[in-house]
Amino acid sequence: MKNNTAKAIQEPGLAARMLQNVGRAKQAFDAIHMEMGRLVAKSIMLMERQKRSGPDSHPEDPEIRKWARQPGSVYMGDQKAPLEQPRLRGSNGEIPLDTYQKLRKPGAYAEERLGHVFRDVLSGSRGREIVTNSTAELGVSPRAISKHLVKTMDIKLQELKELNQSLFYFQKGARMIGDRILKTAIFVFLVCAGLHMAFAETEDFKKLPEGMRLPLRYGIGFTFYTQSQNYIIDSLDVGIPIFNPAMADLIKVKNDTTTEHISVDCWLLPFLDVEALVGRVHGTTKVKISELRLPIPLSDLTIKYDGLVYGTGLTLAGGHDRYFGSFTTQYTGTDLNLNESSVTAIVLTPKAGVTFSRAAIWAGAMYQRAKEDHRGRYTIPFFGNVSYSVKLHEKSPWNFQAGFTSELAKHWLIVAEGGLGDRKSLLARIEYRL
């Protein structure tokens, strides 16, 4: 048993793959950093070319003209980066760009300048500001910046910013896995491997009832889930004199939540599956304060949040002939973009269904204990920017669910599930098992 477990630890598994993914994210993050600097460097060279040749409609010197591009390279800090060099030609042939000659020298565009560009992009600075901040040290006048160049820069920088934010959430998710989930996932998978090696050779484990087929042991899947439900207010405080917290019972609250997450799972035993998940959550909670009859009408409190979702769960399952039953429990937490907001949920899902050769259908229910806690400020007519604090939970914890799964191939399957009742929900999932 000990030797088998040690062997499992040495073999590459989920932990190694997760660490590889974190490394790839770091490489992509660095590539975005470099691409931002390269984009600014290219823009500076285009500015010099524009200054020396003049705009196409009013050339400064008819003997000097813009002349396409050619492959080149510049230094970003101490790293050499390929770049298309803008060209300029005169009556005596090629006219070298001073900025290109400077950027070809190691250290001319310092690592510190790259960091400034990176921070400017993340802070929402526009193309003109970023290029202007970068031109002085290379001797180019900011007056040479054209509107077309600024517009192109803004589009490209916005694309890079959005890509960087996606990688930021991935890296943040990876750190959260490391802190809250990864250790548990590694332990679970090592125990799974140990149990499998210990019992796989026994006759009792091999001999399953005739017609019974176990799922493949390991799985990784991508899930899209969305739901809409009503909330009940536990407490509500709005920083204006005419609002009485006792009126909270009269206010309706609507919540819409969507998640996209990746999960890994393992059947520890024929009847026990464990999983860990991480992904993205988006939600809107609308507190309909405007429906209160007050001397001064108040606007609704709308809270939009976005961030990381993570969780873990386990499933107990059993069956006879073609029929099966299962019970899943799951906990999820969040790390949101709002500093003083949190959303957590405990979910219990009993199901009963029937299997076919390559598919299964089921019906069941979901119990969801959701909690939201938000603090912040919002604008009310006549009162301006006021503080608020609200705590909420679901109005109806139970709803009805039905779904199906189908094998696409030996290792691939899809799952779809819908929920009815006070909580409307929809789940779609694709999964790979091995």
Grouping H, G, I as helix, E, B as strand and the rest as coil, residue 160 is helix
What's the whole-number mean pLDDT along residues 197-211?
A: 49
Q: Cα separation of 357 and 405, whole Å?
A: 11
What's the whole-number mean pLDDT along residues 91-102?
A: 80
Percent of the chain with pLDDT over 90: 35
Q: Cα separation of 104 and 68, whole Å?
A: 19
Residue ranges per structural domain of the chain: 2-166, 210-433
Percent of the chain with pLDDT over 70: 64
User: Degrees (nearest 5) of the Cα angle 369, 371, 372?
Assistant: 155
| pLDDT, position 10 | 42
Find all residues with CB under 8 Å of 236, minimum gap 6, and list them.
245, 248, 251, 287, 388, 389, 390, 391
Q: Cα separation of 362 and 381, whole Å?
A: 51
pLDDT(355) > 80: yes
Q: Which CATH number is associated with domain 210-433?
A: 2.40.128
| pLDDT, position 429 | 97
What's the whole-number mean pLDDT along residues 64-92?
A: 78
Give the pLDDT confidence of 259-301 residue by residue, as tens digits. Answer: 999 999 999 888 899 999 999 999 999 999 888 887 777 888 8
Question: Within the chain, what is the greatest distance between any pair of CA atoms?
Answer: 91
Q: Cα separation of 69 and 89, whole Å?
A: 11
Q: Cα separation of 90 and 367, whole Å?
A: 76
Q: Cα separation of 332 and 309, whole Å?
A: 7
In the numeric block, the tokens 């910013």 are attached to 161
Distances (CA, A) of 187 to 126, 182, 331, 337, 396: 47, 8, 18, 30, 36
Distances (CA, A) of 99 to 172, 269, 288: 38, 66, 58
Bridge-based pairing state of the strands 384-394 and 218-238: antiparallel
Residue with the larger pLDDT of the pair 148 and 67: 67
Question: Which two three-digit tokens encode residue 266?
Answer: 């393992």
Question: Which two three-digit tokens encode residue 185?
Answer: 């996932």
Strand partners, 407: 413
CA 22 vs. chain centroid, Å, equals: 14
- The pTM of the full predicted model, rounded to 2 decimals, is 0.56
